[in-house]
Structure 1
Amino acid sequence: MSEEALAAITDDAGAPKEDLARQVDELFTMDGLGETRALVVMADGKIAAERYGEGYGPETRFVSWSMAKTVTAVMIGMLVADGRLSLDESAPVPHWQRPGDARGEITLRQLLQMRSGLRHTEAGDPPYESSEVRMLFLDGRDDMAAWAEEQPLEAEPGSQFEYSSNTTVILADIAARALTDSEDPDIRRAAVSDYLEARLFGPLGMKSMVPEFDASGTLIGGSLIHGTARDWAKFGEFLRRKGRGPGGEQLLPRSWVDAMVSPSPKSPQYGLQTWLNREYREAGTGEDHPLFPDRAPQSLFSLIGHMGQYVIVSPSQHLTVVRLGHSDAEQRKAMLQQLADVIELYPER
């Protein structure tokens, strides 16, 4: 085994050091997994392993892609706890409140669980036909929330699951409206940035975090928050501790974290903007699970971002694993099995 492989493992490994070094090394060197750019394993709240690919390091800010969705869900949870938002009332989107607009039936909970019923198609063929691409880069890019909110219903609110970055931008817009009445982009941007810093990033010591906003001052809460691997690990640990900060302070109600990791009625593999390790595949469908329910506890959950960004949290194993990099769909299948090899080194307790 190489010195580099062993050097990535700390004295707080929490598992056999050589076994952990071997499994971590394979994430970086094995063919067919794509490119692993960063890996941080935290066991019992301490760094057990940390390694970076060439050209990356502890100070590198990595783009979240859809891992940002879970950050947005935490912000919404804090605003609900503050009494500024209500989970099961009509989502406060102004032009859905017009008489006769059926979108007024959509609740905040349904948005969080990706079952709004809105016509949002995440992946299109060709790609520029997808709702996400149109919102981020084409006709919706200057006011992403307005574009997402203008889409019509294609199903009854609450009736079906459809994963959608547009939905999370609507949530980010709702958060901004809860924090300020202003439509001024700079004021909206500052209100959300200051709230995230004061209530989440600051208390957790996540000093590297850089959220992106569109021209209308709306957080691009479905896909564009940047941070170091260590800071993403701090966020995972915060969720593992049921919303407590490193000093034990309750930053987010435990009940909200419980709701985030509870299966929604229409998608056992999804909670509130968070992926769950719950089996849901029916025999013969051929649909791939986003995690590995056959190889890890059902209580495990994850932030998952485009091209292989993961913050995996396993409360019963006292474990948080961050893997950041670039893997296509086929490579991710193999890479996830290798991540499961790392996770299996830690017993449930």
Structure 2
Amino acid sequence: MKSLFKYSSIFAFLLLAFACGNADDDVNLDINFGDGLGKGEPVDDCLNFEESDLILSIQEQYTTLPGKVSILFKVSDTNGSPVAGLTANQFTIYEQGRNDECFNTISSSESYARISPNSQIFNANTILVLDLSNSVLSSSLDELKTASVSFVNNVMPTTTEESYKMAIYWFDGEDGLHLLNDLTSSKQELVAAIDSITDDISNDPSTDLYGAVIESTDIAEDLLKESIKNEVIGAASVVVFTDGTDQASRYTKEAALKKVNDVSANISFFTIGLGAEIDTQILSDIGKTYSVFAGNAEELENTFNDISLKISERANSFYLFEYCSPKRDGSGDNNLVIQLTDGNRQGAVQTKFSADGFTGGCE
């Protein structure tokens, strides 16, 4: 039976958090994208580790009988840049029981240590929002489609994984986003949707940029709420492309920026601007995570690739590390340290787990 550490109480309190606003005692399930240790702690001095070059930020942890320990964490360097592509053999496990003065190394092979698919407790959703107003359709549609397909291919995993999904919307001057393709884990479906865009798709040549930002943020928030309902930690990336400024004047810049700045830290914002008519300051403010600008349509694919790399790195810097502990029922709470070595860089984090009910037979 899987025993999530405090999950039931966390989600019960979370409902109160939504209802009661930002009181000091609200529960915060925001992903730790900074340089903190999340739910982890600094490593005990008895291990004599060198100063960390890498930060392991624990997002959640749980145990599964007969003896498996699972830790979801994000890896970044000391500048906050995500670290992707790590493998299980780069991690060393140390445990400290009640009879240990310091920590003992746990054999990775004997404990079946592995990096597991994290879809059971984490998902990453991307919302791609395309400006298909008249200026784009008449002058840079082919380049935009090529760049968007490249973006999908770079962000979505090579093999279909349910924990990574994308939806595509578009906007013109009308009030409301248009759905091009609903949230899916199918790369082929997304590419087919992009290929289906024609130059007569829009009936309104204006640009409702601020409305598109507000509505796409609402969609991202709804996705996070759905993740919470399913007892899954969720992250979302909103990517907005435009070649101009807001012309519809339906919503204000202040309303759009307030929407972006007031949301959960689990939502990242990226913007891609094209041409000379964009307002780079506004797009940088909206794309508070990362913004990039193309001087002409020929540069679009490179700028989309730049953004896709940032999104992919963030999503793939989350790891579900699992191993079978040698601790057994009756040992109580045990301290755990996970150390990561990546070339000449290293980092570690400490936490604890309960071995209640643990027996042999874990694989």
**Structure with bigger RCO (C-alpha 8 Å, 6+ apart):** 2
Larger helix fraction of residues = 1
Larger strand fraction of residues = 2
TM-score bracket, shorter-length normalisation: under 0.3
Tell which structure's C-alpha radius of gyration is larger: 2
